[in-house]
């Protein structure tokens, strides 16, 4: 069995194989019907079977999705999956756990199930639940814009690996990608181009809501990022009045080595009216608990300005009932304990982050030399950067989030996240190439108990996913570290 991420425990029962046939039905607890529908939608095209989803009715030789009655260890996100000759039974406390069970079930089907049959599942008893609450993937839609359909495709890909957070980097120097009705030029001007020029794009609020709902249906929470005070050229270019001299700078379509060259003007009152409006609309679009303020690389802002700026902006998030997350530079400011810092450094010791953990802040780990999906695998990778080093899949996999940062205990780690910055990624096939097979590696670090960690075993399981990705049209990187079939 080649389940990724590795489950907490798997017991094989060779006598318990279950075959899905033309008469198999799916019976779901009322609140689990959407998950049952999702399972049916995955299985119907390949099997050609009807696979009716019924509400909580006993079915003969069926697949059961039950809420309640699971081992208490499964918590809110885990599940039990029992496959026997007569039935497949999934049990969880919450629908999100059943969704995770469905992802496991999908991986247990033979590859032929992506295009042929027979549809035999191995007899197993699985108990499974995540190690960390936050298992994220970040997509930069600012440097290059990705359409709603392209982002949905990425959501479908990551959902299979039990990723539960999609962090969207919505704004940066090169593009503002979300409609703000009170400041419409942000999208129409700030979203009108991208790296290398071209038309860029933005999400209308309706489209953005659609993305959030699409993710939610896969138990993925979207965390939107408005990166401030730096990384704001697109906003400054959209509104002259946001600039000290009242003159808008030109739109920026470069990459350049001047990262962090732009800044909102912390001494201009309009800056705060602007952000209050933006954050109000963003909070209203966000069912999740976090808004990401970026706050990284504010090289054009002095230390006192930076602190004062956040002092004004943090309450704008809090008053809308949201918590703040920021890149770890945010720790330079005075923060409420609920604020989360996302570590993107390349060292395994960081004093400010360790101090913050000791003060009660939770940390999301995205070490750039391990988790940055925009780093090349090796010198032959056609896109990407290498400032944090080459990251082949064994490097992406080979670290323990629970002990990675000195003096940041596992209890302070909210989870892991794999950022995909898009300065060099102009097409969905580039997302495929950079995310696979590394997203599954980071997903496993976030989900699986450390006791399952083993590069050899992981590499073997991963190899079996290659043909599945092919069947799904994912143009993945055939890393030489893995013995692909
Ligand atoms: C650093 S990481 C950045 C991004 C770039 C990325 C490229 C971080 C918080 N800032 O602005 O896109 O490197 O690898």
* Residue 219, pLDDT score: 98
221 in helix, strand or coil?
strand
- The CATH architecture assigned to 134-472 reads Alpha-Beta Barrel (3.20)
Strands 9-12 and 124-128: antiparallel
* Residue 47, pLDDT score: 87
pLDDT tens string 350-393: 999 999 999 999 999 999 999 999 999 999 999 999 999 999 99
Candidate from 52-66, 124-138, 266-280, 443-457 with smallest mean pLDDT = 52-66
Residues 6+ apart with CB under 8 A from 112: 118
* Residue 462, pLDDT score: 98
Is it the case that residue 464 has pLDDT exceeding 70?
Answer: yes
Question: Would you say 51 and 103 are in contact if contact means Cβ atoms under 8 Å apart?
Answer: no
Question: Would you say 216 and 223 are in contact if contact means Cβ atoms under 8 Å apart?
Answer: no
The model's confidence at residue 202, banded by pLDDT at 50, 70 and 90, is very high
Backbone phi and psi for residue 63, each to the nearest 5 degrees, phi listed first: -110, 120
Q: Look at phi and psi of residue 201 and say left if phi exceeds 0, alpha if psi is from -120 to 50, else beta.
A: left
Distance 372 CA to ligand 1 centre (A): 9
What are 92-95's contacts with CB under 8 Å, separation 24+? Answer: 92/66, 92/67, 93/67, 93/68, 94/67, 95/31, 95/32, 95/34, 95/35, 95/67, 95/219
Is it the case that residue 259 has pLDDT exceeding 80?
Answer: no
Is it the case that residue 471 has pLDDT exceeding 70?
Answer: yes
Residue 297 among the catalytic residues: yes
* Residue 387, pLDDT score: 96
445/134 Cα distance (integer angstroms): 11
Q: Using a 6 Å cutoff on CB, does residue 227 contact ligand 1? A: no
DSSP 8-class letter at 191: T
Angle subtended by helix axes 95-108 and 33-47, to nearest 10: 20
pLDDT tens string 89-147: 999 999 999 999 999 999 999 886 555 678 999 999 999 999 999 999 999 999 999 99
How deeply is 170 buried, as exposed, middle or buried, from its count of CB atoms within 10 A (0-12, 13-18, 19+)? buried
In order, the DSSP letters of 12-62 are: E-GGG-EE--TT--EEE-GGGHHHHHHHHHHHHHHH-----EEES---TT-
Q: Using a 6 Å cutoff on CB, does residue 99 contact ligand 1? A: no
Candidate from 239-243, 298-302, 476-480 with smallest mean pLDDT = 298-302
Looking at ligand 1, which atom is closest to the CA of residue 260? 11
104/9 Cα distance (integer angstroms): 12
* Residue 64, pLDDT score: 97
Output b/e per residue, 87-97; b: 16+ Cβ within 10 A: bbbbbbbbbbb
Per-residue pLDDT, averaged over 157-179, amounts to 98
What is 9-128's CATH topology? Chitobiase; domain 2 (3.30.379)
Q: Using a 6 Å cutoff on CB, does residue 385 contact ligand 1? A: yes
Q: Which of 281, 297, 305, 470 is catalytic?
A: 297
With pLDDT > 90 as the criterion, what percentage of the chain qualifies? 93
Q: Using a 6 Å cutoff on CB, does residue 327 contact ligand 1? A: yes
The model's confidence at residue 299, banded by pLDDT at 50, 70 and 90, is confident
126/5 Cα distance (integer angstroms): 13
* Residue 115, pLDDT score: 59
Instruction: Choose between 115 and 464: higher pLDDT.
Output: 464
Question: Would you say 220 and 163 are in contact if contact means Cβ atoms under 8 Å apart?
Answer: yes
Looking at ligand 1, which atom is closest to the CA of residue 344? 2
Q: What are the residue ranges spanned by the domains of the chain? A: 9-128, 134-472
Question: Residue with the nearest Cα to atom 10 of ligand 1?
Answer: 296
Distance 60 CA to ligand 1 centre (A): 54
Across 421-470, the runs of DSSP E, i.e. the strands, are none
* Residue 139, pLDDT score: 98
478/192 Cα distance (integer angstroms): 35
The model's confidence at residue 258, banded by pLDDT at 50, 70 and 90, is low
Is it the case that residue 256 has pLDDT exceeding 80?
Answer: no
Instruction: Write out the two tokens for 184.
Output: 């419409």
Sign of CA pseudo-dihedral 144, 145, 150, 152: positive
Question: Would you say 134 and 416 are in contact if contact means Cβ atoms under 8 Å apart?
Answer: yes
Per-residue pLDDT, averaged over 442-471, amounts to 97
How deeply is 120 buried, as exposed, middle or buried, from its count of CB atoms within 10 A (0-12, 13-18, 19+)? middle
Per-residue pLDDT, averaged over 390-398, amounts to 98
With pLDDT > 70 as the criterion, what percentage of the chain qualifies? 98
194/180 Cα distance (integer angstroms): 18
In order, the DSSP letters of 383-414 are: S-B-TT----HHHHHS--TTTSSTT--GGGEE
Distance 280 CA to ligand 1 centre (A): 26
* Residue 255, pLDDT score: 93
Q: Using a 6 Å cutoff on CB, does residue 297 contact ligand 1? A: yes
The model's confidence at residue 477, banded by pLDDT at 50, 70 and 90, is very high
101/207 Cα distance (integer angstroms): 29
Q: Using a 6 Å cutoff on CB, does residue 261 contact ligand 1? A: no
Output b/e per residue, 264-288; b: 16+ Cβ within 10 A: bbbeeeebeebbbebbebbbebbeb
203 in helix, strand or coil?
strand
Is it the case that residue 257 has pLDDT exceeding 90?
Answer: no
């Amino acid at each position: 069995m080649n389940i990724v991420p590795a489950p907490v425990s798997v017991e094989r029962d060779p006598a318990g194989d279950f075959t899905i046939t033309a008469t198999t039905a799916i019976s779901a607890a009322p609140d689990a019907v959407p998950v049952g529908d999702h399972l049916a939608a995955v299985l119907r095209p390949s099997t050609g079977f009807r696979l009716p989803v019924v509400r909580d009715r006993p079915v003969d030789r069926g697949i059961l999705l039950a809420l309640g009655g699971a081992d208490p260890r499964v918590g809110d996100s885990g599940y039990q999956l029992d496959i026997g000759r007569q039935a497949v039974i999934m049990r969880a406390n919450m629908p999100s756990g059943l969704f995770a069970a469905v992802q496991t079930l999908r991986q247990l089907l033979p590859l032929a199930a992506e295009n042929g049959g027979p549809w035999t599942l191995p007899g197993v008893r699985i108990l499974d639940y995540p190690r960390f609450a936050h298992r994220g993937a970040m997509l930069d839609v600012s440097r290059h814009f990705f359409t709603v359909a392209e982002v949905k495709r990425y959501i479908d890909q990551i959902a299979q690996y039990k990723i539960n957070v999609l962090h969207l980097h919505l704004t940066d120097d090169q593009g503002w990608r979300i409609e703000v009705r009170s400041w419409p030029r942000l999208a129409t001007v700030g979203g009108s181009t991208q790296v290398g020029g071209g038309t860029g794009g933005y999400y209308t609020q309706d489209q953005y809501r659609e993305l959030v709902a699409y993710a939610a249906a896969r138990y993925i929470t979207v965390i939107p990022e408005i990166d401030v005070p730096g990384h704001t050229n697109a906003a400054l270019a959209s509104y002259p009045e946001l600039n000290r001299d009242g003159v808008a700078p030109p739109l920026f379509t470069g990459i350049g080595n001047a990262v962090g060259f732009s800044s909102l003007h912390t001494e201009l009152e309009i800056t705060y009216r602007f952000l209050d409006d933006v954050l109000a609309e963003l909070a209203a679009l966000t069912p999740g608990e976090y808004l990401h303020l970026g706050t990284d690389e504010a090289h054009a802002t002095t230390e006192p300005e930076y602190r004062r700026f956040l002092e004004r902006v943090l309450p704008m998030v809090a008053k809308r009932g949201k918590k703040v997350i920021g890149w770890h530079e945010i720790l330079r400011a005075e923060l409420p304990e609920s604020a989360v810092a996302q570590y993107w450094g390349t060292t395994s010791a960081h004093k400010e982050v360790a101090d913050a953990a000791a003060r009660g802040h939770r940390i999301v780990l995205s070490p750039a030399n391990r988790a940055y999906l925009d780093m090349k695998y090796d010198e032959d990778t056609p896109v990407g950067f290498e400032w944090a080093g080459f990251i082949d899949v064994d490097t992406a996999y080979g670290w323990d989030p629970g002990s990675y940062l000195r003096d940041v205990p596992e209890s302070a780690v909210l989870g892991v996240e794999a950022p995909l910055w898009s300065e060099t990624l102009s097409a969905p096939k580039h997302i495929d190439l950079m995310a696979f097979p590394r997203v599954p590696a980071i997903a496993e670090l976030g989900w699986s108990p450390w006791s399952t960690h083993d590069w050899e075993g992981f590499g073997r399981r991963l190899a079996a996913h290659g043909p599945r990705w092919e069947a799904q049209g994912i143009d993945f990187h055939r890393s030489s570290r893995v013995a692909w079939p």
